[in-house]
């Protein structure tokens, strides 16, 4: 199990002593990735989800908080000693082309990490070749075809499968998929999502799925938890199906109201919330950063209290965690029917 508590990250520009241009990317985030489970971080661009994914994968430092991997608190270790722990968490980037070295064939891309793995586990060089073929087979590629090829000779979907195969060379416990299908041709996306789900089933690897897209998050982690992030704060979290079917935070409701219609003729629930995208960014700029709910300037249900006080996840009214296992940071949590519902075609 991997967990994080109170993760804070602020980006500061060099020389910005007064912190005038600092960006509060994460404001005290808690999360748990259960063994073999699938969770998702969801939110609009800039909310901090990529930064959180990078911190979890050990690719970015954080200012406050603790990451615990398999019961070991990372703050108790020196950077070098943290590396084998973070290696158990592999990040899959959204752009498979930039993730692969264009001057190296697939064979070369897999050979180096496998050679290291062979050394660690006392295996032969023959094993390296066999394992490369096995991993490519596992991600649905024909080793004979892809091994001698360079990234540019493969489709976007194939490249992403190679990136996933490379991540698997170290036998990870967790795959962090950051918008893993957003730069892939639409027709190939479902195949990659299905592959991630299959890998979880076959290998028992946990998935952390980072996205702005509710539908794919649901596909990947319907049985896991969803964390809705707004401006660096988790505003609602809990079982994915509960969050999608009975969201209580107005931001989650806005995200869900904005889901495109998927099947046949559908209409949004009667209580649809104004999709936040239709609000101006000027409204966002009105947020007073040190007080009040971060979502208040865009919230159609805000009250005077919301502009004065900041609700904390789990502390807000009512009690800590409701019967559905969901926590939220809102003073006025009300279930609203916002997701699209099926209606009869005329
Ligand atoms: N290296 C950096 N230096 C300064 N600011 C950064 C840096 N990385 C991220 N940020 C800022 O931190 C905030 C969170 O960024 P992050 O990339 O984590 O968001 P995101 O939700 O993943 O967005 P996207 O989906 O667009 O990648 C943003 O305001 C971003 O501009």
Q: Give the burial string for 251-266 (b: 16+ CB within 10 Å, else e).
A: bbbbbbbbbeeeeeee
- What's the pTM value of the predicted model, to 2 decimals? 0.88
Cα–ligand 1 centroid distance for 53 (angstroms): 11
ipTM for the complex shown: 0.96
Percent of the chain with pLDDT over 90: 56
> If you take atom 25 of ligand 1, which residue's CA is the nearest one?
45
**pLDDT digits over 219-260, tens only?**
898 899 999 999 999 999 999 998 988 888 989 988 887 665
Peptide bond preceding 318 in cis form (omega within 30 of 0):
yes
Cα–ligand 1 centroid distance for 47 (angstroms): 7
Q: Ligand 1, closest atom to CA 50?
A: 22
Cα–ligand 1 centroid distance for 225 (angstroms): 23
pLDDT over 60 (residue 262): no
CA distance 276 to 251: 8
Average pLDDT over residues 149-176: 94
pLDDT band at 283 (very low <50, low <70, confident <90, very high): very low
Q: Ligand 1, closest atom to CA 229?
A: 21
pLDDT over 70 (residue 66): yes
Q: Look at residue 136 in the predicted model and tell me its pLDDT.
A: 96
| Structural domains in the chain plus CATH codes | 1-15+22-88+205-245 (3.40.50.300), 247-342 (no CATH)
> If you take atom 20 of ligand 1, which residue's CA is the nearest one?
46
Q: Look at residue 258 in the predicted model and tell me its pLDDT.
A: 63
Cα–ligand 1 centroid distance for 25 (angstroms): 7
Cα–ligand 1 centroid distance for 212 (angstroms): 14
Mutate to test the pocket of ligand 1, among 12, 26, 27, 48 (most ligand atoms within 8 A of CB): 48
| C-alpha dihedral (123, 128, 133, 139), degrees to nearest 10 | 80
Q: Is the dihedral of CA 177, 88, 57, 8 positive or negative?
A: positive
**What phi and psi values does residue 164 have, to the nearest 5 degrees?**
-65, -40
Cα–ligand 1 centroid distance for 143 (angstroms): 36
Cβ < 6 Å from ligand 1: which residues? Answer: 11, 23, 25, 43, 45-51
Q: Ligand 1, closest atom to CA 9?
A: 12
Average pLDDT over the chain, rounded to an integer: 85
pLDDT band at 277 (very low <50, low <70, confident <90, very high): very low
């Amino acid at each position: 199990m991997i967990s994080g508590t109170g993760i804070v990250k602020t980006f500061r520009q060099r020389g910005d002593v007064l912190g005038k241009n600092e960006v509060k990317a994460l404001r005290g985030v808690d999360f748990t990735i259960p063994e073999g489970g699938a969770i998702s971080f969801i939110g609009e661009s800039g909310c901090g989800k990529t930064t959180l994914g990078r911190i979890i994968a050990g690719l970015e430092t954080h200012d406050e908080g603790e990451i615990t991997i398999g019961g070991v608190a990372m703050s108790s270790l020196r950077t070098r000693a943290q590396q084998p722990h973070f290696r158990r968490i592999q990040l899959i980037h959204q752009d498979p082309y930039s993730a692969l070295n264009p001057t190296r064939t697939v064979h070369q891309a897999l050979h180096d990490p496998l050679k290291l793995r062979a050394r660690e586990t006392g295996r032969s060089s023959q094993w390296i070749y066999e394992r490369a073929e096995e991993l490519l087979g596992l991600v649905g590629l024909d080793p004979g075809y892809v091994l001698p090829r360079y990234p540019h000779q493969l489709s976007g979907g194939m490249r992403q499968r190679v990136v996933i195969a490379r991540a698997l060379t170290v036998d990870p416990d967790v795959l962090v998929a950051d918008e893993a299908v957003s730069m892939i041709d639409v027709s190939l996306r479902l195949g990659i999502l299905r592959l991630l789900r299959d890998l979880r089933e076959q290998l028992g690897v946990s998935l952390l799925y980072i996205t702005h897209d509710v539908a794919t998050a649901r596909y990947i982690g319907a049985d896991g938890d969803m964390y809705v992030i707004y401006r660096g704060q988790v505003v609602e979290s809990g079982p994915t199906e509960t969050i999608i079917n009975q969201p209580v935070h107005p931001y989650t409701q806005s995200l869900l109201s904005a889901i495109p219609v998927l099947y046949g003729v559908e209409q949004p629930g009667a209580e649809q919330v104004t999709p936040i995208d239709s609000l101006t960014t000027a409204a966002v700029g009105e947020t007073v950063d040190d007080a009040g709910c971060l979502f208040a300037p865009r919230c159609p249900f805000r009250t005077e209290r919301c502009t004065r006080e900041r609700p904390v996840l789990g502390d807000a009214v009512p009690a800590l965690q409701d019967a559905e296992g969901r926590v939220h940071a809102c003073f006025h949590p009300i279930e609203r029917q916002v997701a699209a519902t099926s209606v009869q075609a005329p």
